[in-house]
Every structure is written in structure tokens, then in C-alpha cells.
Amino acid sequence: MSEQGPGRGIDHLVIAVRDLDRAAEAYAALGFTLTPENLHPFGSKNRIVQLDGLFLEILGIQDGAELAPHDGDAFSFARFNADFLARREGCSMLVMESRDRDADLTAMQAAGLTTCAPFEFSRIANLPDGGTATVGFRLAFATDTSMPESAFFVCEQLAPEHFWKADFQRHANGCAGVVAAHAVCDTPSDTATLFAGLAGSDAVDEIVGGIRIATPRGAIEVLTGDAHKARFGVEPVIDGAHLAGITLSSGEFGAARDHARKAVPAAAISEDRIVIAPDDLFGVMLVIVPA
């Protein structure tokens, strides 16, 4: 994992999909290595794309699973994502890395975020050599009226030595790092308190059409729908505030372009950028640029 400075860097993006196998095939065709399927004890399941200190969590719901409801200030991860999938597929949650969940929960509350009860769990991780190990996570969730369709949390790993594996971080498309996570909102400044509080930062910069919050690992950028379309050439996946996608960097950009051309013929590919529209990737905009 890469070293961090102060604040909380981007940990991962939850990408909710209705058919986990089909989504995994699509990401593999783009040149990503994915973990085997992992099961959560509360009814969801995932396949993971590990990068340098962050990951994409391709998430589905287990068939026939009984999902706990939200109960008071107890946030149900699986129920939230099942309800999201009843509407559409796409980026459902943005997650920031935590080194101390309890301290970060207190800090988020002090920053004015609406938080939920802390939560922790463990699961079996399937390893590259075919073995297994137990990994654990301590989470603190937050929601905000500026992004009502999305949820957010900080994630402290309890057994990172069993989670992060070099074999899972080797991708044929050369992707390794994150440049930015992207959101869309009619009035981006409305989200400043939310995203600055998540990142543990008071540095909110204005950019053309929106705002940008730098983190120790990637930036969070929020644009208006028009600015998003002008910048990336794709329509926002829905009207209203939502998490739109992510920009990754590749150290083998030629290989990334080759995979994108074969896997997504409609992708917008140039000498310095690949843009895959949400309609072509389960509701997610994926951008890849040279490292």
C-alpha cells in the first residue's frame, strides 16, 4: 500500500451490480485482475479489483439472502445496496481509509456529518494460492441530504496483511493508482461539508463547474451535470446528485487502450484518455489516463 499523509485517502468505491459474474467478466475483459468471489455474513457478495492502496468493490446480493433492515441508527450495508439495485446499477458508496475508526467517527460528527452506529465484521478472504484467511473491518457510516442516493463510510482494516496481495494488484491494463473519484450535483458547493468531512480536510478548491477536495490518495471532484458532460463527453447516469465514477492511472496505457478497444468498442479513446460511459459499464463512468 502507498504511504499517506494527514487526512483520509480514498479507500474504495462500491459498485453495485445485479449480475456479479457478468460484471466480473466485463472488468476482466478491460484488463483487470479480480479476486475470487467473497461472501459477507450479512447477505452481500463481492469481487475486488485491488490497486495501489485502494480497490473497486464490485458488489452483488446473495441469492435468497435475508437482509437486515435499517434499525434506528444501525445502517444495513446489504439492505442499502439492495434498495439501490432496485433502482439501478452503479456507484452506490464512496469509502475513505481509516487508521482509527472510532477517532474518525468522532471527527466526522464534529465536522457536521450525519453518522450511523459503528459496525464491524469479519469474513473469509479467498487468496491467490487457493487458500483462505480471515479479514476484518471496522466501519463508520455517514449519509447526507446533499447526496441522498449515496452512502459513505470510513473503513479500518483489522488484517491488512491477508487482504492486500501483490498477485491481485497485477493488471494487464497497467492500472495501479487513483486520480479522482467523481460525483455530480446541481450545486456542487452543497456537498463541500460532506466530502471535506469524509476526507478530514478543510481544503475545498473551486474548479471549472464544481469543487475538488484533495486527499492523500486521489481527489474527490464534484461537478454540475453540464460540466461533467463537457469534461468527459458522457451524460451523467441519472439526473440529480450521485456518485458518477472514477479516474485511474495506468503505467501501461497502450495496453489499457488495447483492452478497452476490444472490450468496449464505444469507448472514447485518445492518446491521453480512455472514457467508458456508464451505459457501457454497469452504471459507472470509468476513465483511465497515463500514469
Tell me the per-residue pLDDT of 222-237, one tens digit each, with 9 for 90 and over: 999 999 999 999 999 9
* Percent residues over pLDDT 90 in the chain: 97
Helix (H, G, I), strand (E, B) or coil at 137: strand
**Average pLDDT of the chain to the nearest whole number:** 96
In the block, cell 470510513 appears at 154
**Residue 244 is which amino acid?**
A
Cβ atoms of residues 256 and 270 within 8 Å: no
* Terminal-residue alpha carbon distance, the chain: 17
Average pLDDT over residues 164-177: 97
Residue 3 clears pLDDT 50, i.e. is over it: no
Domain ranges across the chain:
10-168, 170-290
Half-sphere exposure of residue 144, counting CA atoms within 13 Å on the CB side?
Answer: 25
pLDDT at 20 over 70: yes
Give the pLDDT mean for 205-217: 97
pLDDT score at 6: 61
Indicate whether 91 pLDDT > 60.
Answer: yes
pLDDT at 1: 38
For the domain covering 10-168, report its CATH number.
3.10.180.10
In this chain, the answer to whether the domains covering 10-168 and 170-290 adopt an identical fold is: yes
Q: In the prediction, which pLDDT does 16 show?
A: 98
Is residue 145's pLDDT more than 90?
A: yes
- The pLDDT confidence band at residue 202, using thresholds 50, 70 and 90, is confident
Q: What is the pLDDT of residues 51-74, one digit of tens each?
A: 999 999 999 999 999 999 999 999
Phi–psi pair at 125, nearest 5 degrees:
-100, 135
Mean pLDDT of 133-151: 97
pLDDT over 70 (residue 161): yes
Under a CB-based contact definition with an 8 Å cutoff, are residues 171 and 258 in contact?
Answer: no
Q: Which CATH architecture has domain 170-290?
A: Roll (3.10)
Residue in 107, 66, 93, 98 with CA at minimum distance from that of residue 202: 107
Report the alpha-carbon distance of residue 132 to residue 274 in Å, rounded: 35
Residue 183 has pLDDT above 70, yes or no: yes
The pLDDT of residue 149 is 96
Tell me the average pLDDT across 163-187. 97
Averaged over 184-201, what is the pLDDT? 97
CA–CA dist 50, 48 (Å, integer): 6
Tell me: pLDDT of 2 over 50: no
Grouping H, G, I as helix, E, B as strand and the rest as coil, residue 175 is: strand
- Residue 34 reports pLDDT greater than 50: yes
Res 5: pLDDT: 44
CA nearest 58: which of 82, 90, 94, 105?
Answer: 90
Is the per-residue pLDDT at 4 higher than 90?
Answer: no
Q: How far apart are CA 113 and CA 4, in angstroms?
A: 23
